[in-house]
Amino acid sequence: MIRTVNLSDVVIQDEFFLHYANLVRKEVLPYQWAALNDAIPGADPSGCIQNFRIAAHRQQGNFVGMVFQDSDLAKWLEAAAYSLTAFFDPELQKQIEACIDLLEQAQGKDGYLNTYFTLKEPENRWKNIRDCHELYCAGHMLEAAVAYYCATGKDRFLQIMCRYVDYIGTVFGKKPGQIQGYPGHEELELALCKLFDVTGESRYLQLAKYFIDERGQQPSFFVKELQTRGDTFHWEGNDTYGLQYFQAHLPVRQQRDAVGHAVRAVYLYSGMADVALRTDDEALRQSCCALAESIMRRQMYVTGAIGSTLHGEAFTFDYDLPSETAYAETCASVGLVFFMKRMLLLEQEARYADVMERALYNTVLAGMGLDGKSFFYANPQCVYPKANEKNPSRWHVKTRRQKWFACACCPPNVARLLADIGEYIYQLQNNSVTVNLFIGSELKGEGFVLRQSSALPYGGNLRLTAEGEAAGQLCLWVRKPYWTTEIRCNQPYTEEKGYLVFAPGAAQGGGIEIEFALPVRRVYGHPLLRDAAGKVAVMRGPLVYCLEQADNGENLHLITLPRDATFAEQPGQGVLRNTMLLTAIGQKEAAGGSLLYSYGQKETLQPWPLTFVPYYTWANRQEGEMTVWVRE
């Protein structure tokens, strides 16, 4: 059976991603730790650690923050645990252990562990599963516990969470007196599968399967729950969301279209894939495939972002991908990476890795500033700052990254993915290794060590070498990336499911050398993608590029890129050092004139030098316009 690798078996040696691993370690984790402790001047206070201290009877006070505030600590703990795996840091471990002390003391005798309901609304525990994120927070804390256990072998945190999950298992179910329900915000499902993997306890997989199976059954649990509590909502405005928002409109095995809140959706689909893999559930697998197609083929921005509307932070409908009013939440692309990783296990087709790579190199990285200290929630394809300031339908789109959000889901989500990136590069099956991402690294397998060196995302050279007693039997499946036009290789290969398949032992000795041609390519949207009509995007390798005002002046909508324009590569400067920019000669309309509407051909096009920067680097200089799609 195909399986994922352990993070501890992968050492990242890639310049590009080591930079991010170090950023997470040296900047993001300390910064977010300070944020969780309300120690960032000028940022909204988190209250997160304080809530646990109050719940642990270490200090007096009131709960601060959102109903899901605990999950910020959980995601930080998870990221810290991953970071610890690569870079052992006794200080960081001490911080984590201190948090575990807090968790232990904040946990109820019955195992319950949630500061909001412990401190603020103890009478309402399990009363509003739909809106109140109790199971979501449990899921994130569980993922952190599993990560810490895998990183250190210490099981105190894991035991805390097992107690909590065992308690949850008594609360939810089909027996009399139990709540026959499922999470309002999916997350626990996939976390339970991780817990099953490390403990081997089938009750955890069964609980995950129970939640998956119950979701969307009729009569609707959410509708019944809402009636029971007298039609009250935790969130103002939540009454306008239908069951689709929660992916609870249909039993999951009947779902074929990705709908509703995008983060919820991809977390659910990840959990579905996890359960399908572990239970060999064909109907569930088919749903996962259809839902993946729904996203990949019809509802994904070119940057790998998902979620077309602020309203419900949700999918809308096929090919509806507005550039300026996009929600395109960072967390949703993090979740898309999770889902694609699982689709690779289910289907072993390289195209899922293509999408994983697209989301990772573009939206996930764009979600964090190059300094690791500022973050985007929404990731638009086009901004015109005056509109974002003055037109309320654009207010959710920021043109500068923020320090920390009142609802701080995205920053720690980026951190935990980047700290865990080693788990996404390879997959194992018998004596085969699948290479899904081109990230320089060393993989320790059973009887072999595989080394990958890669010049991505800016260069196309790849080398794979294997050593060890099993290296002679080792068969490599190397993803054939969608963005290359030509492949040169020192070894013969066949192609299967989107992979270059090499003969056993090919990576021994001098290894496999591959050169992926990496030309600048023009990308066109599907004809039904209305905001891309008549426009072109620019990609080189996995990177989507964009125009920024800093290089190209204001009024980017007046720029056209001629069909025959050629591109030149140019190393970035200043904050963009270590990146590759692209230049071309475009055209720009003059912006003058006093008439709002005029007759006749007005344009005076003039040649205009254009500089494209990688989308993930946008908004790291002065505030200004940006666009991915350019008129052609």
Residues that bind its own copies (CB under 8 A): 296-298, 300, 302, 308-312, 316-317, 319-320, 322, 325, 384, 386-387, 390-393, 521-530, 533-534, 537, 555, 557-558, 560, 563, 589-603, 631
Query: Is 313 part of the annotated catalytic residue set?
Result: yes
Tell me which residue has tokens 């509109």. Answer: 387
Query: Using omega within 30 degrees of 0 as the cis cutoff, is the peptide bond preceding 457 cis?
Result: yes
Least distance in angstroms from the C-beta of 627 to its own copies: 10
Asked if 497 and 349 count as a contact pair (C-beta separation under 8 A), the reply is yes
Residue 362 near residue 304 (C-beta atoms within 8 A): yes
Amino acid (one-letter) located at 185: H
Nearer to its own copies, 178 or 393 (CB): 393
Quote the least distance from Cβ 317 to its own copies, whole Å: 4
**Is 442 labeled as catalytic in the residue annotation?**
no
Which C-beta is closer to its own copies: that of 322 or that of 422? 322
Separation CA 38–CA 98 (nearest Å): 17
Q: Between 327 and 375, name the residue whose CB sits nearer to its own copies.
A: 327
Burial pattern 180-214, b for ≥16 Cβ within 10 A else e, equals: ebbbbbbbbbbbbbbbbbebeeeebbbbbbbbbbb
- 71 vs 325, beta carbon nearer its own copies: 325
Q: Which residue has 């692309």 as its token pair? A: 333
In Å, the largest CA–CA distance within the chain is 79
- The CB-of-461 to its own copies minimum distance in angstroms stands at 21
What is the C-alpha to C-alpha distance for residues 395 and 391, in angstroms, rounded to an integer?
7
Write down the catalytic residue from 313, 329, 357, 625. Answer: 313
Least gap, CB of 397 to its own copies (angstroms): 12
Smallest distance, its own copies to C-beta of residue 286, A? 19
Between 406 and 528, whose beta carbon lies closer to its own copies? Answer: 528
> Exactly one of 99, 289, 331, 409 is catalytic; which is it?
409
Q: How far is the CB of 392 from its own copies (least distance, A)?
A: 3
- Select 422 or 525, whichever has its Cβ closest to its own copies: 525
* Nearer CB in complex with its own copies: 71/333: 333
Burial of 591 (0-12, 13-18, 19+ CB in 10 A): exposed
Using CA atoms, how far apart are residues 554 and 20, in angstroms rounded to an integer?
31
Shortest Å distance, C-beta 435 to its own copies: 23
**DSSP state letters, 165-201:** HHHHHHHBSSSTTSB----SS--HHHHHHHHHHHH--
First to last CA, the chain: 47
Residue with tokens 């230049």: 583
Phi first, then psi: what are they for 548, rounded to 5°?
-120, 150
Catalytic residue set:
313, 409
